[in-house]
Structure formats: structure tokens, C-alpha cells
Amino acid sequence: MNHEGNGVTIHDNRAVCAHAGRCTNGLPVVFRVGQEPFVDAKGASADEIIATVKQCPSGALSYSAGETQQQDHQASPAIFVAKNGPYVVTGAPDLAREIWGDGVSREHFTLCRCGHSKNKPFCDGTHWSVEFTDDGN
């Protein structure tokens, strides 16, 4: 879903949101928990929105400023395990035979670790509602 703001358009693909909270904690006037629409693209400056969107680990959020959509971080290849959450992947590894949603980053994304995502192999944030924990990480 696209949300037009002042000098920036926020692209939001809820199907791959890992619910890390970096958007809602970082800029709650734009990314509004429990409100519809979830995104108020006019709630902050374009610079504030861009800085917050760049913190999205799942690739569910991206932005356009002008004609170009920015969805990748150009990070080094890495995989790490989020505490009680998904695998966080950066650096553009290829996932063979996967269907990618509109506006989703192929450079950084999160993969389900709890086994309950309805969008496997991608994380859809279900680990929160099933209260997934892993004391080993």
C-alpha cells in the first residue's frame, strides 16, 4: 500500500512485516499502532520518515522520493537471529523459487523462525502473537 506525504511516498507491505517496532517506536506520529490507516505520511518531515523507514529490518517499508523507490540498504551479506524473533538477512542473498511481494526489498528481509508465519519463508510477525521464545539466543 502506498501513502503519499510531503516529498515522500511510504510503501508498506504488511505481509512481510516482522513487527520489530522500529517504525512505531521511532516515529509514532507516522506509524500509528491501533489506528487506520496505520501510516500517516504527512505526520512528519520527509527526512524524519526516510530515516525511520531505513531502520526497517524486514523490508516491509520502503519509500520513494521523486521517481525512484528506495528499498535497499546496500548492506554486507549477513544473517543474524533476532531475540525471540526471525532470522534477519542482509546483503541480497538469492532465495530460489520465492514469490516476492510488491515493494519488498530483496536486499534485506526477515525469515520465519517460529514456524507460524502465514507467509513462509518470510516472517509476518506471528511470533509476537504466539509468544515465541528461544532462550538459546
pLDDT tens-digit readout, 47-105: 999 999 988 888 888 888 877 767 666 777 888 898 999 998 888 777 777 776 666 77
The residues with which 108 forms a beta bridge, in sequence order, are 90
User: In Å, how far are 78, 90, 107, 112, 122 from 75, measured between CA atoms?
Assistant: 8, 6, 8, 20, 19
Instruction: Give the fold, CATH level 3, of 2-70.
Output: Alpha-Beta Plaits (3.30.70)
pLDDT cut 70: percent of the chain above it: 91
The pLDDT of residue 102 is 66
Pairwise CA distance, residues 108 & 8, whole Å: 21
**Sequence ranges of the domains in the chain:** 2-70
Please report the pLDDT score of residue 73 as a whole number.
67
Q: What average pLDDT does the structure give for the chain?
A: 86
